[in-house]
A and B are shown apart, each in its own frame.
Chain A
Amino acid sequence: MKWAVVGACGKMGRGIALLALELLNDQKEPFSLLLVDQNEEEFPSLRRYLRNEIERLGEKKINFLREKYASNPALISNKEVIEEYVSSSMNSIYFSTLVQSCAKSQIIFEAIVEDLEAKIALFKELDQVCTKETLYFSNTSSIPLRKMNELSSLQGRLIGLHFYNPPPIQKLVEIILPIGVDSRAASMAKQLCQKMKKEIVYSNDVPGFIGNGYFIAEIAFSCKKVDQLSRKMSLEDSVSFVDTVTREYLLRPMGIIQLMEYVGIDVCKRIAHLMGYEIFLEKIEKVQRKDYPLKKASFHWKELLADPQRQEKVAAHFRWVQTLQDEAACLTWEYLRHLKETAEKLCKNKVAHSVEDVYKVLELGFHHLYKASDILEMKK
């Protein structure tokens, strides 16, 4: 069995490589995993990452491994078992800068730059060296799969498998099936995600899908808010204010500006452009963001995440926000209303099959602790 990951040295690519390696390790057939990237100098770092993570995985599944290696009399201690697991895994990985090395791959994961032309060029080259049986899974977060299939002539063998960052940890995968999808590819996508123990949300093949459908809409909304606020406070203060409110009062792991920086401002711009949004991040990206002094909330995202009394505490938090009646509180409600409208629009515009799917993406992909619709209902 041979699988390949193209763009393997990137943040997403290496996470997908680890998931693929774990899956291949767990099945009985001999395998090879080819990791392709232009940045050859990153190969040692990728190798180290995979080695450390495979060792960690081996420690977690030691019971399974002891059974797997039960018939090998030389592997007695946990250390010996795990070392064997790591070395046999690493011996099945190959590195290359050449796309042609992907020949004879049954499955190829694509995780290169979010650029239509680059992806099409890659898929065309891959199709030259691979068979018509090869299945392709793209980690695109925004480019329609129908378009990519058509332009690369992959005839429905290319499916969107959009992982969230970082892939080995994030449970959510958006599966995007283009019109005319190859049924083998559709079935394989589902199987792979189930074996990876991922939560699947099917998104329709509309630019941005569900995740970016929400994210870019909220970025655009945030740019508007920063613009409005900067008429009465400094740009630095308005950026910091929006960021702090979205983190502290909306109970999120990061504020919206920080999240943009984490994803990459250029990436956000590219995706927004693809989706037909005009967003002007040039002003925002130059600002030194800081914590804006707000009235202190009693609860924070991190402590609520695993709290069994989370729902009551979230409700208590928003009841408190309601008492504030200041600019931060107003902005909080505006964001919640915008979020509710965005969720409904994504459904209405047939990006998502249901509003529930949207909220599932927000919960699993963006770590939202509640549904905006529930909070607004409570406020009435």
Chain B
Amino acid sequence: MKKFLRPIYAAAGYTTIFFGPGRREFNPKNPMPSFESYLKDVGRGVMAQIPNPDFDEGVIGSFMSARFLNQANLPGFLPYLCSGLEGRPCTGIEGACGTGGRAIATAVKTVLSGLSESVLVIGFEIQNSVKPLYGADILAGAAYYNGERKKGLAHFFPGIFAQRAGAYFKKYGEERTRKGMAAWYEQCIQNARYYPHAQEYHNQVEDLFSLAMTPPNPSAFLPYLNLYDCSKVSDGAAGIVIASEEGLKRLGLEKKESVEVVAMGAAESDITLSPLDLTRLTNSEIAIEKALKGLDRAQIGHLELHDCFSITGLLGLEAAGFAKQGEAADLVRSGALRVGAELPTNISGGLGGYGHPTGATGVRQLVDLWAQGIGRALNGFETKKEFSLMVSMGGNDKTVTAIVTRRNG
């Protein structure tokens, strides 16, 4: 693993409620919380942990606010949610569903360069401002719209990953994979039940596995995937601080309240090209390999994968090298990914359980790595192992950022 030129830390993370149809209080006929309220909430949540919020820079990530909210020029909202950023450089980042990971990477690079000692990173998204059917068109911008939207299904991105699921079923067996996906869903919801801000926090369904085994309905929805395979449309925000040691001091934060960001790998793939192998996330493999270079996977004690769909969670496990090709379903069903087992994964529910406001998810993943790393995970989980890994993915495995953290002490 290539060492950074200087230590970089993540601290003071916060996630708002990830709001959507899974939440008890959700009613599409009622006015939804405004995006301003999410930004204020995340700003307050982060700032409440910082004695002296004197940041050098800010980074804000959102995928499609210009379409969902008719709002661009997002950097201007950083001084709005943190008055200390008035007059400071602020940057907007977009990388589809991998926006959060790229926002963190941008902040890390800024601090590494020495231009800044501390950066406030915010990711957010509002998607419930339009009906899901029309939101699907907006989210299709994460793919090559001109080349792919026309022939895509009504539910575009679920359709993309349904294709991957179909190819995977054919290669490795449908029943085996379907059971792995159902077990993945079950774990998502069970983990989310410990997190009051998670979209599936209120979900008390007893037999989650059977529910997730519901046969797909191609005429009404999709082939190969059912509703439980898909993360729900979400509104929400997440925030975290990226800082040098000096930056932490200036903010009034103790090092023991942070985790160290020790490695990063990023990879971009030609968006106009279809994947050569639908059963692999080859671009994710590249990014993860870069991040894990020199590190033994056995040293990873906590994993946060981008499970926009249950099949993506399984593919992510294989891309990260924790399961051999075709064996991810078995790994999930073995229980090895549960909190308290060998490799706790998506401890707050992941995208399937916590929710997926596209611009916020990557930041939420780092918040989870940080909280667990300093012993503050809401389910009490704290890995004994030194390192944790998150993978933030945008589009159909096009924009990937993998980040490794190390807990302090």
Q: Which residues of A contact B (CB under 8 A)?
A: 59, 62-63, 66, 70, 73, 76-79
Contacts and interface: CB of A to CB of B under 8 A. Distances in A.
10 contacts: A62-B154, A66-B154, A73-B150, A76-B145, A76-B150, A77-B137, A77-B149, A78-B137, A79-B134, A79-B137
B216 to A, nearest CB: 13
B214 to A, nearest CB: 16
A63 B219 contact: yes
B233 to A, nearest CB: 14
B408 to A, nearest CB: 48
A77 B139 CA distance: 11
A96 to B, nearest CB: 34
Contacts of A63: 153-154, 219-220
B149 A76 contact: yes
Given A59-B133, A63-B219, A78 B154 contact: yes
A111 B331 CA distance: 63
Nearest to B148: A76
A63 B152 CA distance: 10
Contacts of A73: 150
Given A62-B133, A66-B154, 15 more contacts: A59-B131, A59-B133, A62-B154, A63-B153, A63-B154, A70-B151, A73-B150, A76-B145, A76-B149, A76-B150, A78-B133, A78-B134, A78-B137, A78-B154, A79-B137
Interface in B172-225: 219-220
A78 B136 contact: yes
Contacts, number: 26
Nearest to A75: B150
B140 A77 contact: yes
B282 to A, nearest CB: 28
Contacts of B131: 59
Interface string B68-98: 0000000000000000000000000000000
Interface in B352-370: none
Contacts of B145: 76
A62 B149 CA distance: 14
Interface centre among A63, A66, A73 (most CB of B within 10 A): A63
A62 B131 CA distance: 13
Contacts of A77: 134, 137, 140, 149
Nearest to A73: B150
A337 B204 CA distance: 44
Contacts of B150: 73, 76
A78 B133 CA distance: 7
B230 to A, nearest CB: 16
A371 B131 CA distance: 41
A79 B219 CA distance: 19
A73 B150 CA distance: 7
Contacts of B136: 78
Q: Among B131, B137, B220, find the residue whose CB has the most chain A CB atoms closer than 10 A.
A: B137
A184 to B, nearest CB: 32
A70 B150 CA distance: 8
A73 B151 CA distance: 10
A78 B158 CA distance: 14
Contacts of B153: 63, 66
Point out which of A63, A66, A77, A79 has the most chain B C-beta atoms below 10 A from its C-beta: A77
Contacts of A70: 151
Nearest to A64: B219
B317 to A, nearest CB: 31
Contacts of A62: 133, 154
A308 to B, nearest CB: 15
B225 to A, nearest CB: 14
A63 B219 CA distance: 7
A303 B151 CA distance: 42
A77 B134 CA distance: 8
A199 B1 CA distance: 68
Contacts of B134: 77-79
Contacts of A59: 131, 133
Contacts of A78: 133-134, 136-137, 154
A60 to B, nearest CB: 9
